[in-house]
Amino acid sequence: MIILAIESSCDETACALVEDGRRVVSSVVASQIDEHKLYGGVVPEIAGRLHCECITNVVDEAVKKAKINISDIDAVAVTYAPGLIGALLVGVSFAKGLASALDKPLIPVHHIKGHIASNYIAYAELEPPYLCLVVSGGHTHIVEVKDYTDFNIIGRTIDDAAGEAYDKSARAMGFPYPGGIHIDKFARLGDSSKYKLPHPKTQGEFDFSFSGLKTSVINLIHKHRQNGDELDINSLCASFQETVTQILCDKFFSAAERLGYKKLAIAGGVAANSGLRELAKQRAALLDKELFLPPLNLCGDNAAMIGCQAYYEYLGGNTADSSLNAIATKKL
Ligand code: KG4
Ligand code: ZN
C-alpha cells in the first residue's frame, strides 16, 4: 500500500510516499527557516502563506521522485493536529482536495504519533510495546507505545518543551533561530562544570519543567552584562546541554526501570542533539536496554514519519471524510 503523506504543521512543507508503513519511496522537505530567522522565531501567518505557495510543488516533486503516477497511490495522509492552525489548514485542505479528486481514503495523523513512528522507518525490527521519549520544539513527553495506535503518556512538560528551552536560551545567547543546533555545536567546545544551572523539581515524578532553567540562563547572561564580566558562551552551552540531557535521561530511564521496559526509543527534533544521543546510549548500555534513535534526517519534521504512522492508522480503521478539520491543540 502506497500512502502519499503531507506535513505542514509548523515551518516545514513536506510530502513523502511511503510503502506499507516502513519503506520511504520518496521524501521532500521544504524548510521555511530562512524566512522566519529574520524575526527570531516562526511567524504563524508567514508560515501559512509559505505553505500555500509551495505545497503543490513539494507534492509534485515527491511524486516525480517516486517515479509513479499520482493515480497509483492508495491513500492520502495528512498531519491534522497539533500545530499552527493556519499552517495545518493548508496541508489538510490540500489533502482533502487530493483524496477527493483521486477518490482515495484520507488518513488524519497526529503530529507526535508521526514523530514516534520515525523510528519504524530506520529499524525494521522495532515493534510496540516500548517506551518513547518525545522531545520536539512543542512537546516533551514520555509515552508508553502499547501498540501502533495505542499510547499512554506517563510524563510531560508542565511548561516549556525541551526544544523551546533550547531555542529561547539560544536566542538570549545571541544565536539565530532555531538555536538548538547552535547550542549543541558550541557545547562541544565548552566546560560543562563552569556554570551551575538548576535541576527543576516537578510534582509528577516523570514530568518535566524547563522554564526555570531557561530563566536561569537569561538571568546569568544579564548579570554578566551588568557587571561587565566576560561570559564563556561555549561553557554556558555545555552547562545547559548537560543539564537538559541529564534531566531528560534521568526521568526517561527511571520510568523505563519502574515500568519494566527493555525497549526504548527517542523521537522529535531534539533527538538530533549529540549530547542527548550520547548520554542516552551510555545509560542504555549501563541498564541493559535496547535503544532506538532516529537517523538525523528523520528527527525534525518530515512527511515520511506521517506516511509511516498513517499506514498503522489505516489498518486500525482511522480514516476521515471531507469534514476533516485542523486542530491546533490535541492530546495524543
Ligand atoms: O520536531 P521538530 O522539528 O518540530 C516540532 O515538532 O516542534 O523540533 C524542532 C526543535 C527545535 O526546537 C530545534 O531547536 C530542536 O528541535 N533541535 C535541536 C537540535 N536540532 C533541532 N535541539 C537541540 N540540539 C539539536 N541538535
Ligand atoms: Zn515536529
Report the CATH number that the domain containing residue 197 is assigned in CATH: 3.30.420.40
Ligand 1 site, residue 213, Cβ cutoff 6 A:
no
Residue located nearest, by CA, to atom 22 of ligand 1: 180
Ligand 1 site, residue 7, Cβ cutoff 6 A:
no
Which residues contact residue 90 at a Cβ distance below 8 angstroms, ignoring those fewer than 6 apart?
A: 8, 13, 48, 51, 52, 55
Residue located nearest, by CA, to atom 2 of ligand 1: 269
Predicted confidence band of residue 293 (pLDDT cuts 50, 70, 90) = very high
Q: What is the pLDDT of residue 215?
A: 96
Instruction: Note whether 215 and 310 are same-domain residues.
Output: no
Q: What is the pLDDT of residue 79?
A: 98
Q: What is the pTM of this model?
A: 0.97
Residue 268 alpha carbon, nearest atom of ligand 1? 1
Q: What is the pLDDT of residue 260?
A: 98
Instruction: Note whether 282 and 212 are same-domain residues.
Output: yes
Q: What is the pLDDT of residue 329?
A: 95
Ligand 1 site, residue 245, Cβ cutoff 6 A:
no
Please state, in angstroms and rounded to a whole number, the distance separating the CA atoms of residues 113 and 149.
8
Residues 87-102: tens digit of each pLDDT: 999 999 999 999 999 9
Residue 179 domain-assigned (yes or no): yes
Ligand 1 site, residue 31, Cβ cutoff 6 A:
no
Q: Closest Cα to residue 137, out of 47, 56, 201?
A: 47
Residue located nearest, by CA, to atom 23 of ligand 1: 180
Domain that holds residue 147: 127-298
Ligand 1 site, residue 108, Cβ cutoff 6 A:
no
Residue located nearest, by CA, to atom 7 of ligand 1: 137
Instruction: Note whether 70 and 209 are same-domain residues.
Output: no
Residue 322 domain-assigned (yes or no): no
Instruction: Note whether 66 and 139 are same-domain residues.
Output: no
Q: What is the pLDDT of residue 54?
A: 98
Instruction: Note whether 152 and 289 are same-domain residues.
Output: yes
Residue 246 domain-assigned (yes or no): yes
Segment 234-240 shows an average pLDDT of: 98
Residue 325 domain-assigned (yes or no): no
Q: What is the pLDDT of residue 193?
A: 97
Instruction: Note whether 108 and 150 are same-domain residues.
Output: no
Residue 330 domain-assigned (yes or no): no
Residues 244-256: tens digit of each pLDDT: 999 999 999 999 9
Instruction: Note whether 278 and 159 are same-domain residues.
Output: yes
Q: What domain count does the chain have?
A: 2
Residue 326 domain-assigned (yes or no): no
Ligand 1 site, residue 161, Cβ cutoff 6 A:
no
Ligand 1 site, residue 275, Cβ cutoff 6 A:
no
Instruction: Note whether 140 and 280 are same-domain residues.
Output: yes
- Specify whether the CB–CB gap between 121 and 308 falls below 8 A: yes
Instruction: Note whether 172 and 274 are same-domain residues.
Output: yes
If one counts every other C-beta atom within 10 angstroms of the C-beta of residue 263, the result is 18
Segment 190-217 shows an average pLDDT of: 96
Residues 131-168: tens digit of each pLDDT: 999 999 999 999 999 999 999 999 999 999 999 999 99
Ligand 1 site, residue 166, Cβ cutoff 6 A:
yes
What is the residue type of 142?
A: I
What is the residue type of 276?
A: L
Segment 232-257 shows an average pLDDT of: 98
Mean predicted lDDT score pLDDT of the chain: 97
Instruction: Note whether 91 and 139 are same-domain residues.
Output: no
Predicted confidence band of residue 279 (pLDDT cuts 50, 70, 90) = very high
Instruction: Note whether 164 and 107 are same-domain residues.
Output: no
Segment 275-291 shows an average pLDDT of: 98
Instruction: Note whether 111 and 131 are same-domain residues.
Output: no
Which residues contact residue 144 at a Cβ distance below 8 angstroms, ignoring those fewer than 6 apart?
A: 129, 131, 151, 152, 153, 154, 259, 261
Ligand 1 site, residue 137, Cβ cutoff 6 A:
yes
Residue 108 domain-assigned (yes or no): yes
Residues 36-66: tens digit of each pLDDT: 999 999 999 999 999 999 999 999 999 999 9
Q: What is the pLDDT of residue 174?
A: 95
Q: What is the pLDDT of residue 65?
A: 98
Q: Which ligand is nearest to the CA of 244?
A: 1
Q: What is the pLDDT of residue 183?
A: 98
Q: What is the pLDDT of residue 40?
A: 92
Residue 150 domain-assigned (yes or no): yes
Q: Which ligand is nearest to the CA of 277?
A: 1
From 111, 177, 181, the mutation candidate for ligand 1 (largest count of ligand atoms within 8 A of CB) is 181
